[in-house]
Amino acid sequence: MITPESPITIDVGGATVSGVFADPDRAFATLVVAHGAGAGMDHPFLQGFTRALNALGVATLRFNFPYREAGKKFPDRPPAAIAAWRAAMDAAASRSGSRPLWAAGKSFGGRMASMAVAEGMPAAGLVYLGYPLHPPGKPEKLRDEHLYGLSEPMLFLQGTRDTFATPELLEAVTARIGPAATVEWCEGGDHSFAVAGAKRTAEDTGASLAASVAAFMRTQGKTVATTS
């Protein structure tokens, strides 16, 4: 049974962005999901991912960052992206009761979620769908400093062919983070989790990650109140 999706409007500092909330019966947690730098909340990958999670008992809220809402191509700077994250989490909290509230994002969206939590945004845990640890071909430019101060459960889902995070570097970073961090590798997957020779749609690819995420949330989740 497909969970109905409700369009919502989220206020971000006087401006608004779009969101989509889905609340399946007897949901055990809510996951707020942000898009990557090059696509919005309605990309088939995120639709497949969130709808599969709904079927597994996870409520979801997808949302657009302000730049995407305005039709711009260049991503927001961290202060604007973090403000959007806080507003989206508050919107989800107002619809979720006492359920654990998690933050997740594809690439840029996940990195901004981690920065928001590092700056004090409450979350029961974090899920990274292809964490952009470094720019492609520039492993010396790591985007990891803020991660070491996080104690929330973190799940890194990463393709072994992802040019934004070589396996050796990501394993070293998560080892330094400690037991809060878990890595699950998608064998042969690139930054979009596409596997060479595997004929899957983006929607199916996103959906294939849902079971791992739901299982992690069930075992690691805890209730955290969200405040503005």
**Pairwise CA distance, residues 90 & 101, whole Å:** 10
For the beta carbon of residue 108, count every other beta carbon within 10 angstroms.
21
Can you read off the two tokens belonging to residue 163? 């040019």
Q: Given this model, what pLDDT does residue 228 score?
A: 38
Q: What is the mean pLDDT of the chain?
A: 94
Using 70 as the pLDDT threshold, list the residues of the chain that sit under it. Answer: 221-228
Percent of the chain with pLDDT over 90: 92
Predicted structure pTM score: 0.94
Q: Is 226 left (phi over 0), alpha (psi -120 to 50) or beta?
A: beta
Q: Given this model, what pLDDT does residue 221 score?
A: 58
Q: Given this model, what pLDDT does residue 137 score?
A: 87
Tens of pLDDT, residue by residue over 90-125, are 999 999 999 999 999 999 999 999 999 999 999 999
Tens of pLDDT, residue by residue over 69-96, are 999 999 999 999 999 999 999 999 999 9
For the beta carbon of residue 178, count every other beta carbon within 10 angstroms.
10
Can you read off the two tokens belonging to residue 24? 């399946």
**Pairwise CA distance, residues 167 & 208, whole Å:** 20
Sole residue written with tokens 């909330």: 21
Q: What are phi and psi of 113, to 5 degrees?
A: -60, -45
Q: Given this model, what pLDDT does residue 2 score?
A: 86
